[in-house]
Amino acid sequence: MSDAEQASDFDPTTQVDEFEPVDVFPSSEDMDLRPGADNCYKCTSCDTSCPVAEVDESFPGPKFQGPEQWRLKRGEDVDIDDSILSCSNCMRCDDACPSSVPLSQMHNTARGEYVEEHMDKLSREYLRNRMLSNYRTLASIGSKVPRLANFVMGLGITSVLGEKIMGIPSERDVPEFATETFRQWFKKRGGSKVSNPDKQVAYFHGCYSNYNTVEVGKAMVRVFEEFGYEVLVPKQQCSGTPMFANGMLKDARREAEVNVRELGKAIDNGADVIASCTSCSMALRQEYPELFDIEGIDELSEHTYEAMEFLRIHEDLEGAIHESEVDPQAFAYHAPCHARNQGLDRQAVELFRELDGAQIEDVGESCSGISGTYGWKSEKYETSMKIGAEMFDHMEHAEGDVGMTECPTCAMQMNHGTGYEIRHPLELLEEAVAN
Amino acid sequence: MAIREDVIVIGGGLAGSVAAIEAAETGASVRLVTYKKSTLRHASGLIDVLGYNGSDDPITDPFAALENLPADHPYSVAGEAAVHDGLDRFDEIVGDSYQGDHTDTNALIPTFGGAVKPTARYPAAAAAGIASDDRPMLIIGFEEMTEYNGSMLADHLEAAGVPFDVEGVECSFPGEYVNDSRVTRFAKRLDINENVEYEGRTTGAREALANEIEPHVGDAERVGLPAFLGDDHTDEVRTDLERHLGVDVFEIPMGPPSYPGIRLSDQLKDAVDEAGVRISAGNPVVGFEAEDGEIQSVTVDSKGREVPYHADEYVLATGGLVGKGIDSGREEGVTEPIFDCHIPHPEDRYDWFDKEAFGDQPFAHFGVVVDETMRPLSADDAPEFDNLRAAGAVIGGADTVAEKSQSGVSLATAVVAGERAGERAAKHEVSQ
C-alpha cells in the first residue's frame, strides 16, 4: 500500500488503538489453529504413522506435539516442550490423519516458537542447526572452489572436527560439490533450446540439483524440452524445507519472499513452476501458504508441480513411456515422505512398470529416516539409522541394486545404508524419452 | 486427458479395496483414489456379518437372519448371494491369516472390554481365544498399559457367562520403558525381537516376555494378550511365545491403535497392488464433471490444484460419518460431499438423534440409498448418475454398529459395485 493510498483512506473518527494488524509471523498466536485442534478425535493414526515414535520411546508423538500441546499452551505458564526438536518434519502425520488436523503446521509453528524463545542463540546446537538449515549459503561458497571444498570435506580430520565441534556425525560422507553448478551449465548452453511462449515452465532446481546432483537438473531440462517446453530458470533461494524443520522460520521467510517474487514473475507470464525435489515442491505448495502471508504465495502454491506429475497431467507421459525402451536395469524405489504427502508415492513405480527394459520395485512404506538435516545431527544419527533399517533391508531384498528416489537426502541415506548408487526418476525418464 | 482408467474407486478402506479388486478381476483397468489413512486402521480387524438384530442375544447364524431384515437394509438390496460372494472374495484375499470360513455360524471373540463379539471371520491370531472353546484361559494385562487390565477383562468375561475358567493377571513388560509408552513400542520390540535386559541378563524381547508370563500360566491352556504381538512378523511372535510357554497364545482386539486393523489394512493394500490396481493416495476427490447423466471425470485436489481423473465408471466408497463420506451441518443438513447424492434425513436436526445414547439412533442409519446394482438414487428414486455406484458405510439403511454388520455390508456392496462397474466399463469399450 502506498503512502498516498493510506492518506486517502485515513478516517479521523476511527480510533487508532482498535487497529490490529494481521501478522502471522513470527508468533504462532496469530494463526488460528483451534479448529484443527478440535478436529482431533484421538484415533492415534498419526502416532502409529510416526517413524520417530516407532523407534524412540521418549518422543511423545505427533498427537502430543500438535493438538495436545496446542491445548496445553492455552495455559499461560506452559512452554513448548523441547521434544518438538525430535520431530523430523517428515509430515507423515498429515497424510495419516483421517480428520484433517493440520499437524505439520502445528509442529512447524511450535518449533518456530521454541527456537525463537527458548533456544540459546549461542549454543552449539543452535549454531549447528542454523548452519545445516542454510545449506545453500554453505554450498554457494563451497561450489566456488568445488575441488578444494571436496578435498577438505573428504579429509578424516574434517570429519573428526565436524563431530567434535559442530555435532555432525562423522559416519556420514559430506556430499561432493559438482565442478560446474546447474546454473552455470544452463547459462553456458545458452538457456533453453526450445523457445515457446505458449509452453513455458519455470524450474525450481533447489540447492541440491544446483550444487551437487546437477545431472538431475540437466535431465529435467532435456525431458521438458523433448515435450516442447521452454524451460526458464528464475533466480531462486532455498525452498525453506531445512529451515522449517529446524524452527528457523525467519530464515525461511527471507528465502520465501525471494522465491514468491521471482517465481511469481514467471507465473504472471503464463509459466508453471516445476520442482524435481519433492521436499521443495512440498514447501512451495503446502508450507508456504500455511506459514506465511506473502502476496502471491497462494498463486505460487497453485502453480507448482513436481516434474513427472506435471507431465502426467499435461502430456501423454504414459504413452511416451510405453513406446520407449531402455537398457535392462532394475531399481529399488523408495517414495520420500514428502512425495507421499503430495500423492506422488506411486507415480514412479506406476510409470516405469510400463517401460521396456526397466524393472522397478517399491521398497515399502517406511521412512528413510534422514528427513533432510535430521540425520545430519550427531544426537539424532542413531534414531535416523534405526528408522532407516527397514528400508535398507527391503532394498537389499529387492531385485535391483540401484536405488531410486526423488528426494536428495533420502538418496544420501539410501546410499549410506546400502552402498547403492541412487538415481532420480528424471534421469531414467531422460534415458527413455530424450535420447 | 492424461490420467484415465476404466474404473475409478474413491476410498481405500475395506469396501474400496474390495470393489477395486473385484473390478480389476473383470479385466478393467482400475485406479483407487484414497485420501487419508482408512478408519479400518482403528477397527478391530474382525469381519462381522450380522451379530445382533434388535435383541440383546447374539445371532447364531447370520445368513438365516438375513430374511428378517427390512427391505431397505443394504443386505436386502444386495441379496444374500452378494453377502456370500463378498466373504468368498475376502477369504481369497486374506488366505490363512483369517479363520471362520468353515462355518456359517458366528464365532464369539473376546474383546478388550471383556465382552464377546459375534463375528463371521477373525484373525488367526485371535483364534485360540474363541469363547465356544471350553479350555481354561489366562488373560495377561500389563502395568505399563493403562487402557487394558487383565483381571478386569477376566472378571467381565466370567460375568458374561463364558463356558470356561478364566483368570487375569497384571505383568510387567520386560525392558525399560517410559511411563506412558505406547503400544506401538511394545509391538515393534516384539516384531524385531529387540534385546532387552531381563532379570540380570540380555535376551530377546519375545523370550523375556514368555519368561515373565510363565509363572502365571498354571492350569490355563491358552493365554490371551493385548493385540500387539508384532506388526510385520505377528505369526513368528505368536509361535515363539507358544513354543516357550507350551500353550496356545492369542490376541485380544483392542481400541486404537489397533494392530489387527492396521495389519488388515496393509494386507488389503498389497492385494490391491497385486491385482494390478493403480493407487493414488494422499489427495481428496472434491468434485466432478458430468454430462448427460454420466460422470466424465472426478476432480482431485492436489494440494490446492484441481486435477481431473477420467474413467468410464466410478465407485464411491468414502465411508460413513466417521470416515467422512457423509457430512452434516446446520444449514446444509446431511450430505454426501463429493457428488451430493441424496441422503434421506429429517429436516429438524433434533430428530436426527434419540435421547437414549444406546437407543435406536436415526443418524446411524444415514447414508445414500442404492438400487440393486448399487447406484445411489435421487429423492425421486432415479439413479443419480448411470455410471456411479456406492459401496460400504456411505450406504445407509442400517445401524451397522449396533447390528455388528459393517464389514459384511462393505464386502457385499463392494463385490456388486466393483463387478458391475468393471463389466459396464468393458461394454463402453466395445461400443466405442
pLDDT of residue B112: 86
Grid cell for residue B98: 483369517
Contact (CB<8Å) B37/A316 = no
pLDDT of residue A144: 85
Closest CA to A200 of A236, A225, A237: A225
Whether chain A has a CB inside 8 Å of the CB on B355: the answer is no
Whether chain A has a CB inside 8 Å of the CB on B324: the answer is yes
pLDDT above 50 (res B406):
yes
pLDDT of residue A7: 42
Domain presence at residue B2: no
Write out the E strands in B124-255.
137-142, 166-171, 195-198, 201-204, 222-226, 248-252
Q: For the residues A85-95, what does the mean pLDDT come to?
A: 92
pLDDT above 70 (res B432):
no
Residue B380 and residue B306 in one domain: yes
Q: Tell me how far apart the alpha carbons of residues B282 and B284 are, in angstroms, rounded to a whole number.
A: 7
pLDDT above 70 (res B3):
yes
Contact (CB<8Å) A317/B2 = yes
The single-letter code of the amino acid at B128 is A
- ipTM rounded to 2 decimals: 0.85
Q: Looking at the 3D structure of chain B, how many domains does it have?
A: 2
CB-CB neighbors (< 8 A) of A285 in chain B? 303-304
pLDDT tens across A368-408, in order? 999 989 999 999 999 999 999 999 999 999 999 999 999 99
What would the DSSP string read from start to end of A268-335? HTTPEEEESSHHHHHIIIIIHHHH---TTHHHHHHHEEEHHHHHHHHS-HHHHHHT-EEEEEEEEE--
pLDDT of residue A12: 45
pLDDT tens across B87-100, in order? 999 999 999 999 99
Phi, psi of B396 (to 5 degrees): -95, -165
Residue in the block written with cell 496446542? A70
Residue B117 and residue B238 in one domain: yes
Residue B18 maps to which CATH number?
3.50.50.60
Residue ending a domain, among B197, B219, B252, is B252
CB-CB neighbors (< 8 A) of A49 in chain B? 37
Whether chain A has a CB inside 8 Å of the CB on B300: the answer is yes
Residue B54 and residue B126 in one domain: no
Contact (CB<8Å) A316/B281 = no
Residue B346 and residue B318 in one domain: yes
Report in angstroms the alpha-carbon separations of A154 from A61, A65, A212, A376: 37, 38, 15, 16
Q: Tell me how far apart the alpha carbons of residues B326 and B430 are, in angstroms, rounded to a whole number.
A: 35
pLDDT above 90 (res B340):
yes
Residue ending a domain, among B228, B252, B276, is B252
pLDDT above 50 (res A15):
no
- A vs B, Cβ pairs < 8 A, gives 98
Domain presence at residue B360: yes
Domain presence at residue B103: no
* Contacts for B270 with CB less than 8 Å, ≥ 6 apart: none
Angle at A34 between CA A247 and CA B284, to 5 degrees: 85
pLDDT of residue A166: 81
Q: Tell me how far apart the alpha carbons of residues A411 and B187 are, in angstroms, rounded to a whole number.
A: 29
pLDDT of residue A21: 53
Interface of B with A in 368-407 (CB under 8 A): none
The single-letter code of the amino acid at A267 is I
% of residues, chain B, pLDDT over 70: 98
* Contacts for A372 with CB less than 8 Å, ≥ 6 apart: A88, A89, A241, A242, A245, A279, A409
Residue B398 and residue B307 in one domain: yes
Domain presence at residue B376: yes
Chain A residue with the nearest C-alpha to that of B300: A343
* Contacts for B401 with CB less than 8 Å, ≥ 6 apart: B364
pLDDT above 70 (res B430):
no
Continuous H helices in B285-405: 400-403
Residue B212 and residue B294 in one domain: no
Whether chain A has a CB inside 8 Å of the CB on B323: the answer is yes
When pLDDT is cut at 50, 70 and 90, the band that residue A6 belongs to is very low
pLDDT tens across B271-312, in order? 999 999 999 999 999 999 999 999 999 999 988 889 999 999
Q: Which helix (H) or strand (E) holds B109?
A: strand B107-110
Domain presence at residue B69: yes
Domain that holds residue B222: 112-252
Residue B384 and residue B270 in one domain: yes
Closest CA to A257 of A232, A292, A286, A233: A292
Contact (CB<8Å) A344/B256 = no
pLDDT of residue B419: 98
Q: What is the DSSP letter of A65?
A: I
Q: Tell me how far apart the alpha carbons of residues B135 and B123 are, in angstroms, rounded to a whole number.
A: 19
Q: Could you tell me how many helices (H) and strands (E) chain B has, helices first? A: 11, 20
When pLDDT is cut at 50, 70 and 90, the band that residue A25 belongs to is very low
Distance from CA of B33 to the nearest CA of A (A): 9
pLDDT above 50 (res A231):
yes
Distance from CA of A419 to the nearest CA of B (A): 23
CB B8 within 8 Å of CB B34: no
pLDDT tens across B361-388, in order? 999 999 999 999 999 999 999 999 999 9
Domain presence at residue B179: yes
pLDDT tens across A174-218, in order? 888 999 999 999 999 999 999 999 999 999 999 999 999 999 999
Contact (CB<8Å) B39/A43 = yes
Rg of chain B over all Cα atoms, to the nearest angstrom: 23
pLDDT above 80 (res B176):
no
Instruction: Please give the mean pLDDT across all residues of chain B.
Output: 94
Q: For the residues B187-200, what does the mean pLDDT come to?
A: 91
pLDDT tens across A127-162, in order? 999 988 888 888 888 888 888 888 887 777 777 777
Q: Tell me how far apart the alpha carbons of residues A112 and A240 are, in angstroms, rounded to a whole number.
A: 13
Domain presence at residue B355: yes
Residue B163 and residue B184 in one domain: yes
pLDDT of residue B35: 94
Contact (CB<8Å) B257/A55 = no
pLDDT tens across A308-329, in order? 999 999 999 999 999 999 999 9
Residue in the block written with cell 506435471? A310
Domain presence at residue B257: no
The single-letter code of the amino acid at A367 is C
pLDDT of residue A16: 47
Cβ-nearest to A350 among B41, B178, B278: B278
Q: Tell me how far apart the alpha carbons of residues B382 and A290 are, in angstroms, rounded to a whole number.
A: 43
Cβ-nearest to B303 among A43, A285, A312: A285
pLDDT tens across B14-24, in order? 999 999 999 99
Chain B residue with the nearest C-alpha to that of A298: B304
Contact (CB<8Å) A285/B41 = no
Residue ending a domain, among B231, B252, B273, is B252
pLDDT of residue A32: 73
Q: For the residues B70-86, what does the mean pLDDT come to?
A: 97
Residue B363 and residue B385 in one domain: yes
Residue B237 maps to which CATH number?
3.40.50.1860
Residue B426 and residue B314 in one domain: yes
Cβ-nearest to A48 among B178, B184, B307: B184
% of residues, chain A, pLDDT over 90: 68
Contact (CB<8Å) A100/B257 = no
Contact (CB<8Å) A343/B300 = yes
Residue B279 and residue B383 in one domain: yes
Q: Is B223 helix (H, G, I), strand (E, B) or coil?
A: strand
When pLDDT is cut at 50, 70 and 90, the band that residue A27 belongs to is very low
Q: Which of A39, A40, A44, A64 to mutate to test the interface with B (most CBs of B within 10 A)?
A: A44
CB B47 within 8 Å of CB B101: no
CB-CB neighbors (< 8 A) of B174 in chain A? none
Chain A residue with the nearest C-alpha to that of B266: A365
pLDDT tens across B245-258, in order? 999 999 999 888 89
pLDDT tens across A103-115, in order? 999 999 999 999 9
Report in angstroms the alpha-carbon separations of B242 from B125, B209, B224: 12, 11, 11
pLDDT of residue A174: 83
Residue B225 and residue B286 in one domain: no
